[in-house]
Amino acid sequence: MSQNLISLSFDPAQLTAIDKALEQLESACAELIALDPDARRNLYKMGDKSEAFCRQALTLLAQNPQVVPPSLGLAEAQADLAAIDQLRPRLARLQRLTERMTDTETALGSDVISTALQGYALLKVAGKNQGLEGLRESLSARFKGRRRQPEAEPA
């Protein structure tokens, strides 16, 4: 019995709608940045504990402006924190959608390879007298070098 975790097809109107929505999203998010791995690695990271510290520190600094020099950039930090609060719920939605898309891609691929492997097994058995040996051999290239080595017999 073949595996069928999901049956899915997109009509052209759906694909157009998805592409249009992605274009709008990319356009609306044009100010987002991409960091290279080295830059990302060298940045301070604001985790949960750090976030609580940062929120409290910014609140205390805002309540005591007499100790805050203009060069500190408090207003920019407050704006950055507000932007984080605006970005996070949208990021969570995108991450859920991305996870569903990734899982769907995985399930579709699994369905395809399951059927392909079952078909390959059929070709190995039933295709011998059907003039399919050469074609089956070309498919076997996927498995080259994957054979298990027989266990050495104890001396």
- End-to-end Cα distance, the chain: 44
For residue 39, the one-letter residue type is A
Give the up-direction half-sphere exposure of residue 153: CA atoms within 13 A in the CB hemisphere: 1
Cβ(74)–Cβ(62) below 8 Å? yes
What digits encode the pLDDT tens for the residues 79-91? 999 999 999 999 9
Measure the CA–CA gap between 100 and 97, rounded to whole angstroms: 5
Q: What is the pTM of this model?
A: 0.78
Residue 56 CA: distances (Å) to CA of 68, 76, 82, 87: 15, 16, 14, 20
Domain boundaries, the chain: 12-36+47-142
Q: Nearest to residue 2, comparing CAs of 128, 113, 136, 105?
A: 113
What digits encode the pLDDT tens for the residues 3-56? 999 999 999 999 999 999 999 999 999 999 999 999 999 999 999 999 999 999
Q: Higher-confidence residue: 137 or 101?
A: 101
Percent of the chain at pLDDT > 70 equals 90
Strand, helix or coil at 151? coil
